Chains A and B, each alone.
Chain A
Amino acid sequence: MLTVLILLIVLMILGAVVALESRDLLSGVISLGICGFALTIAFLLLQAPDLAIVQIIVETLTLVILIAAILKTTREDTSEPLGFRKILLWGMGLVAIAAFLLVTVGVLRHLPPFGAPELRMAQPYIDGGLPQTGAANLVAAIILDYRGYDTLGEATVLFTAVAGTVAVLRSVGRKHA
């Protein structure tokens, strides 16, 4: 399973790089889809069906929205090529990647092995989820009972995002219309 996971992660990195580098916005969006759907398969392999369902549906709807937005506006990436500044940016990026890898290798050495987490907080949830809340789906018991406050904040964030989108895209105010 670890081999399949590594293959999926390599595929996701390739998709992300193609999405960043392509000049055609439609192929960029489709490469982004590779990233999301590979993540769905990874969630399924790691036995997280809740996350997999949310990921595959949100990914599909996001792709549809992005493609519809591209079809209504422009398909061409109209930003100017960076020229010689590109070399400087590549150099800084490589330095940042090297520093990140160095720190990550140092941190990963102290982590518990894959599949054996040392979370002490998880065991009371797993033991008491069904008797305390009555919800058979442990994920629902956690996000809507134990951690309901977080979910409330998340719903508020989504509401604020939608309100901002509607307010920005409405170029005529209510008073003047």
Chain B
Amino acid sequence: MRGMTIIVQAISRLMAPAIFLLGVYVVLHGHLTPGGGFAGGVLIAGAFVLLVLAFGSEEWRSRALNWNATALESFGLFFFWFLAVLGMVQGVQFFVNVIAKSEPGTPYRLFSAGIIPLCNTAIGIEVAAGLFSIFICLAVMKMGEKP
């Protein structure tokens, strides 16, 4: 896929870091404000999609990028499963909030609510990498090309 004009490239070079940062903010503040792992993950994926659309896929060496995206997606899901099983390791139930049980933390602070911010981070990584892989597959890859 070819890139777009220099106007689009300049604007998206300015906008993409801001969108990425907003996505990270939404993921990390998911337990305090509206949003969460899913919305923030889609925002992060949107920043990369904007860059790929503006600069073209050749510039991005889509194969390596897609491999990284697939690996990151697996890592996100694995992290989420790990957090879920952590409750059983501690000898309680599956998916119990183990950190909040031992250290409750102050509500309304960034470091509160136990494993909920960690779960949000895991979901954010998984959703961002997954949606970006789908975009690369549907829009950029040629027929017969290896991902």
Physical interaction between A and B? yes
Task: Mark A residues whose CB is within 8 Å of B.
Answer: 49-50, 52-54, 57-58, 60-61, 64-65, 68-69, 72, 130, 133-137, 139-141, 143-145, 148-149, 151-152, 155-156, 158-159, 161-162, 165-166, 169-172, 174, 177
Name the contact of A165 in the complex, choosing from B1, B26, B38, B134 (C-beta under 8 A).
B134
Name the contact of B32 in the complex, choosing from A137, A148, A151, A165 (C-beta under 8 A).
A137
Name the contact of A135 in the complex, choosing from B26, B38, B112, B139 (C-beta under 8 A).
B112
Chain B residues within 8 Å of A144, by CB: 31, 36, 115-116, 119-120
- For A176, the closest partner residue in chain B by CB is B146
Chain B residues within 8 Å of A135, by CB: 31-32, 107, 112-113, 116
Name the contact of A152 in the complex, choosing from B36, B46, B81 (C-beta under 8 A).
B81
Name the contact of A69 in the complex, choosing from B70, B100, B138 (C-beta under 8 A).
B138
A/B interface sample: 18 pairs, CB < 8 A: A53-B26, A60-B46, A61-B135, A65-B49, A68-B1, A134-B100, A134-B104, A134-B114, A140-B30, A144-B119, A149-B95, A151-B123, A155-B126, A156-B77, A162-B130, A166-B66, A166-B133, A170-B146
- A159 and B146 alpha carbons, distance in the complex (Å): 20
Residue B147 at the A interface, CB < 8 A?
yes
Majority secondary structure, B binding face? helix
By the criterion CB–CB under 8 Å, are A165 and B137 in contact? yes
Chain A residues within 8 Å of B38, by CB: 54
By the criterion CB–CB under 8 Å, are B39 and A165 in contact? no
Task: Mark B residues whose CB is within 8 Å of A.
Answer: 1, 26, 30-36, 38-39, 42-43, 45-46, 49, 53, 66, 70, 73-74, 76-77, 80-81, 84, 94-95, 97, 100, 104-105, 107-108, 112-116, 119-120, 122-123, 126-127, 130-131, 133-135, 137-139, 141, 143-147
